Amino acid sequence: MSDASTIFALSSAPGRAGVAVIRISGPAAQDVLEKMVAPRPKPRSAVYRTIQHPQTGEALDRAVVLWFAAPKTETGEDVVEFQVHGSRAVVSAILAALSAIPGCRLAEPGEFARRAFENGKLDLAEVEGLADLIEAETDAQRRQALSQASGALSKLYDGWRARLIEIAALIEAAIDFSDEGDVSASSFAEARKRAETLAKEIVAHLDDGHRGEILREGFRVALLGAPNAGKSSLLNALARRDAAIVSAEAGTTRDVIEVRLDLAGLPVIVSDTAGIREASSEVEQEGIRRSLAVARDADLVLWLAEKPESIPPLGLSRETSLVIRSKADLPRESRNDPEFGDLAVSAKTGAGLDRLIEAIAERAGQAIGSPADPAITRARHRQALETALADVQAFLTGSPAAIELRAEDVRRAAQTLGRITGRVDVEDVLDQIFSRFCIGK
């Protein structure tokens, strides 16, 4: 995607604003300064200048201008930033003027970040952390993304890769001194010892309950129950808006409705589902099938019931479910009716909602765990780690007699870890990663 051209884009949000930020990166950035805001400012100094059209000299805006000289910039190239008034007219006029300068073109999605990667300013894991930081909706997501964008995961994986290279060097020494039995044996034994320690660390890192992925994507809560159990009303109460249609007619909810919430700084996705019952309608049957599928994939299932007999006989795990007595504002038919459920909630009056939110946030916090240690945030990382671990274990369990094959096991493991940060060939994933960015980043 990158080439010798100079790219530009609006890097702040589109639409009317007090200030809009336009970024330019590439070899013609200084030419942009000469033609649009002469005289050229000193590097890393903010100046207030009139921005002019490069061909007509027409004044387009008065703005703050900054110039960052390569290579000490975000992209590794010359970078210019215009902080202009954020009207659509101003932004459009300046973007049109930039396109009139030879060698300048509008940036593609993620192209600034891709140039930073290609110029060694960011590795691939840091780029993914940057993408997550842009998408972060809660404080916990921000902290995790910022940690990854700052290189916490890269430091861990690069450290493991460096240790694998050291192990490979020991194996090569064992091969080179194969005619000296003591030297060869001691080198290989030291390689195995180090590999065993590293394998245990990778296993512990993988055995994390997917906490990083849960935090990045959201802790999933499924609302299940019989028709008219109050699922849609509870969803609306949690979302504090009419996200789902509420009706006394059974089977109103046919499809899964999702709402994203921020509970105690944690991302939570609550899904309203079709009521569980014996249905004759094919449409309702499909809705129930989807409800059960959502329940299987959920991190927490809330089963809503008005009466004890509405609790399903199917065994819900206590670790991943709560039974909620819904419509707690309604009087019980008889004083002898038994109490049931983990919590009682009324979506109408709000009674019990605070306790329910606390319970969900507590379960989410347990699943996500402590943010102190770097966590796996993507399936791509987990798959690479599992593959690298398999190669290390192949080295440990393989026959020392085939020492060249054992060396290949370690080489493959190091190469696989290198793909996470982009130290080795990752062309097959670059386009997919950078296309997720907005234009201007």
CB 334 within 8 A of CB 256: no
Query: Please, which pLDDT band fits residue 175 given cuts at 50, 70 and 90?
Result: confident
With a cut of 90, say whether residue 172 has pLDDT above it. no
Ordered strands of the 59-68 beta sheet: 47-52, 59-68, 79-86, 17-25, 6-10, 104-106
Does some domain include residue 55?
A: yes
Say whether the peptide bond before residue 267 is cis (omega within 30 degrees of 0).
Answer: no
Of 276, 161, 267, 269, the C-alpha closest to 227 is: 276
Phi, psi for residue 19 in degrees, rounded to 5: -135, 140
pLDDT tens per residue, range 213-268: 999 999 999 988 888 888 888 888 888 877 655 555 555 555 678 888 888 888 99
Say if CB 54 and CB 105 are below 8 A apart: no
Strand-pair partners of 261: 268
Q: State whether 78 and 172 are in the same domain.
A: no
Q: Residues 74, 95: one domain?
A: yes
Given a contact cutoff of 8 angstroms between Cβ atoms, the answer to whether 431 and 439 are in contact is no
Does residue 130 lie within any of the structural domains? Answer: no
DSSP string, 129-148: HHHHHHH--SHHHHHHHHHH
Residue 437 falls inside a structural domain:
no
Domain of 61, CATH number, reads: 3.30.1360.120
Is residue 390 assigned to a domain?
Answer: yes
Q: What percent of the chain has pLDDT over 70?
A: 84
| Strand positions, DSSP E, 170-315 | 219-225, 257-263, 266-272, 300-305
**Shared domain check, 69 and 44:** yes
Indicate whether 349 and 233 sit together in one domain. yes
pLDDT in tens, 12-46: 988 899 999 999 999 999 999 999 998 889 999 99
Looking at residue 3, its amino acid is D
Alpha carbons 183 and 181: distance in angstroms, whole number: 6
Q: What is the largest CA-CA distance in the chain?
A: 90
Sign of the torsion formed by the C-alpha atoms of 69, 72, 74 and 76: positive
Residues 249 and 277 in one domain: yes
Indicate the residue among 101, 122, 143 that finishes a domain: 122
Least confident interval from 22-26, 141-145, 298-302, 319-323: 319-323
Q: Provide the 8-state DSSP code for 375.
A: -
Confidence of residue 2 (pLDDT cuts 50, 70, 90): very low
CATH of the domain at 273: 3.40.50.300
In terms of domains, do 58 and 86 share one?
yes
Return the exposure string of 155-171: e unless at least 16 CB atoms fall within 10 Å of the residue's CB, then b: ebbbebbebbeebbebb
Are residue 191 and residue 262 in the same domain, yes or no? Answer: no
For residues 202 and 243, membership in a common domain is answered with no
Q: Do 219 and 358 reside in the same domain of the chain?
A: yes
List C-alpha distances in Å: 213 to 320, 367, 404.
17, 10, 37
| Residue 271 near residue 195 (C-beta atoms within 8 A) | no
Give Cβ neighbours of residue 263 (< 8 Å, ≥ 6 apart). Answer: 357, 360, 361, 364
CATH of the domain at 157: 1.20.120.430
Average pLDDT over residues 298-326: 76
At 328, is the secondary structure helix, strand, or coil?
Answer: coil
- Residues 242 and 235: their CA atoms lie apart, in Å, by 8
**DSSP string computed for 101-137:** STTEEEPPTTHHHHHHHHTTSS-HHHHHHHHHHHH--
Which residue type is seen at 242? Answer: D
Residue 349 shares a structural domain with residue 388? no
Cβ-contact 136, 142 below 8 angstroms: yes
Count of domains observed in the chain: 3
Indicate whether 131 belongs to any domain. no
Query: Is 345 a member of any domain?
Result: yes
- Residue finishing a domain among 368, 385, 404: 368
Mean pLDDT, rounded, for 53-74? 95
- Residue type present at position 8: F
Residue 335: per-residue pLDDT? 47
Q: Does some domain include residue 430?
A: no
For residue 415, what are the domain limits?
151-208+376-422
Name every residue whose Cβ is closer than 8 Å to that of residue 213 and which is 6 or more positions away in sequence.
376, 377, 378, 379, 382
Measured between alpha carbons, how far is 112 from 109 in angstroms, rounded to an integer? 8
Task: Indicate whether 357 and 220 sit together in one domain.
Answer: yes
How far apart are alpha carbons 111 and 433 in whole angstroms? 11
Q: Quick check: is 300 in a domain?
A: yes
Sign of CA dihedral 24, 29, 32, 33: positive
- 128, burial (CB in 10 Å: exposed 0-12, middle 13-18, buried 19+): buried
Domain finish residue from 122, 141, 161: 122
- My answer on whether 88 and 63 are in the same domain is yes
Mean pLDDT of the 77-103 span:
96
Please give the distance of CA 255 from its chain centroid, rounded to a whole number.
26
pLDDT of residue 246: 56
